[in-house]
Amino acid sequence: RKEVEQDPGPFNVPEGATVAFNCTYSNSASQSFFWYRQDCRKEPKLLMSVYSSGNEDGRFTAQLNRASQYISLLIRDSKLSDSATYLCVVNSPGAGSYQLTFGKGTKLSVIP
């Protein structure tokens, strides 16, 4: 089982749609969780951290279920500018330190 697994995608949605991304992780000792956004041929940029209580930032809502080892990201009212690859990221103990482990990413294309 891969350490971090995401919906394979791609997701093609019209402007204004609501889209949900799912992610599961295998290491129960993982401590922190993030969604990063990566535009084509650019570096990943932090979109939001994910907390057990759930957190919202404008049109974006992230949820964490530690018991199920499941993370989600909901984007409401999709904009063209939301087109990117969304990376689920888990901070887990590794050899000597915590390490960020990335999912493969889910590509989102928002269509006019």
Partner 1 sequence: DAGVTQSPTHLIKTRGQQVTLRCSPISGHKSVSWYQQVLGQGPQFIFQYYEKEERGRGNFPDRFSARQFPNYSSELNVNALLLGDSALYLCASSFTREESTDTQYFGPGTRLTVL
Instruction: Check residue 105 for interaction with partner 1 (CB under 8 A).
Output: yes
Residue closer to partner 1, measured from CB, 78 or 105: 105
Q: Which long-range contacts (CB under 8 A, 24 or more apart) does 91-99 make?
A: 91/30, 91/31, 91/32, 91/33, 91/34, 92/3, 92/25, 92/27, 92/29, 92/30, 92/31, 93/27, 93/29, 93/31, 98/31
Instruction: Check residue 4 for interaction with partner 1 (CB under 8 A).
Output: yes
Length of the chain, please? 112
Segment contacting partner 1 by CB under 8 A, of 15-23, 56-64, 75-83, 91-99: 91-99
Q: Which of residues 20-49 bind partner 1 (CB under 8 A)?
A: 31-32, 34, 41-46, 49
Contact positions toward partner 1, by CB under 8 A? 4, 31-32, 34, 41-46, 49, 87, 89, 91, 93-105
